A and B are shown apart, each in its own frame.
Chain A
Amino acid sequence: MKKLILLKTEFQNAIRVGWFLAFRQIKRSGKGTTTLIIFIMVLTFLNLVVVSGLLVGLISGSFKQFRESYSGDVIVTTLPGRDYIDHSPELISFLNNHPKVTAISPRYGISATVLASLTTLPKKNERANAIGARIVGIDPELEENVTDFSKFIIAGEPLNTEESGGILIGANLIKKYSSFADANIPGLDLLNDVDVGQKVRLTYATKSGNKVIKEFFVKGIVQSKVDQISTRMFILDNELKDLLPVNQSQYQEIAIKTDPLFASRLVKEIENYIGLDSARVQTSEEAIPSFLRDVEATFSILGNALSSIALVVAAITVFIVVFINAVTKRKFIGIMKGIGISPMAIQFSYILQAIFYGIVGSAIGLFLTFGVMRPFFDAHPINFPFSDGILVATAAGAGIRVVILLTVTFFAGYLPAKFIVQKNTLDSILGR
Chain B
Amino acid sequence: MIRSEKLIKKYGQGELELTVLKSIDFEIKDGDFIAIIGPSGAGKSTLLYQLSLLDLPTSGEIYFNGVATSTLNEAEKTAIRLNELGYVFQDYALLPELRAAENVALPMLMQGMSRDEAIRRAEVSLDKIGILDKKNNVPSQLSGGQQQRVSIARAIAHNPHILFADEPTANLDSGNARLVIDTFKKLNEEGQTIVMVTHEIEYANKAKRVITLKDGIIVSDHKPVS
Contact = CB atoms under 8 A, between A and B. Distances in A.
A339 B158 CA distance: 11
Interface stretch (B21-29, B88-96, B193-201, B217-225): B88-96
B115 interface: yes
Contact of A338 (B83, B87, B109): B87
Interface residues of B, number: 29
Given A24-B98, A339-B107, A426 B49 contact: yes
Contact of A340 (B93, B102, B107): B107
Interface stretch (A13-21, A372-380, A390-398, A406-414): A13-21
A331 B109 CA distance: 21
A339 B81 contact: yes
B54 A336 contact: no
A113 to B, nearest CB: 82
Interface string B112-131: 10010000000000000000
A14 B79 CA distance: 12
B112 A9 contact: yes
B89 A335 contact: yes
B38 to A, nearest CB: 18
B110 interface: yes
Contacts of A332: 93, 95-96
Interface in B63-88: 75, 78-79, 81-83, 85-87
Contacts of B79: 340
Instruction: Give the residue among A12, A14, A339, A342 with the most B Cβ atoms within 10 A.
Output: A339
Given A13-B111, A20-B115, A29-B97, A341 B75 contact: no
Given A9-B112, A335-B95, A340 B78 contact: yes
Nearest to A26: B97
Nearest to A427: B55
A194 to B, nearest CB: 76
Contacts of A178: none
A315 B79 CA distance: 34
Contact of A339 (B49, B55, B82, B112): B82
A345 B97 contact: no
> For chain A, which range describes its interface: under 10, 10 to 19, 20 to 34, or 35 or more residues?
20 to 34
A67 interface: no
Interface string A333-352: 00111111111010000000
A350 B86 CA distance: 25
B138 interface: yes
Contacts of B85: 340
Given A339-B82, A340-B78, A28 B138 contact: yes
A339 B81 CA distance: 6
Given A338-B81, A342-B78, A426-B54, A17 B95 contact: no
B44 interface: no
Contacts of A16: 109, 115
A102 interface: no
A164 interface: no
Residue among B110, B111, B138, B154 with most chain A CB within 10 A:
B110
A123 to B, nearest CB: 89
B110 A426 contact: no
A429 interface: yes
10 contacts: A13-B109, A29-B97, A332-B95, A335-B93, A339-B81, A340-B81, A341-B107, A342-B78, A342-B110, A426-B49
Top 5 A-B pairs ranked by shortest CB distance? A340-B82, A340-B81, A28-B97, A335-B93, A426-B55
Interface of B: 49, 54-55, 75, 78-79, 81-83, 85-87, 89, 93, 95-98, 102, 106-107, 109-112, 115, 138, 154-155
Given A12-B112, A339-B81, A339-B155, 14 more contacts: A9-B112, A13-B110, A13-B112, A16-B109, A20-B102, A20-B109, A21-B95, A332-B95, A332-B96, A338-B54, A340-B107, A342-B78, A426-B55, A429-B89
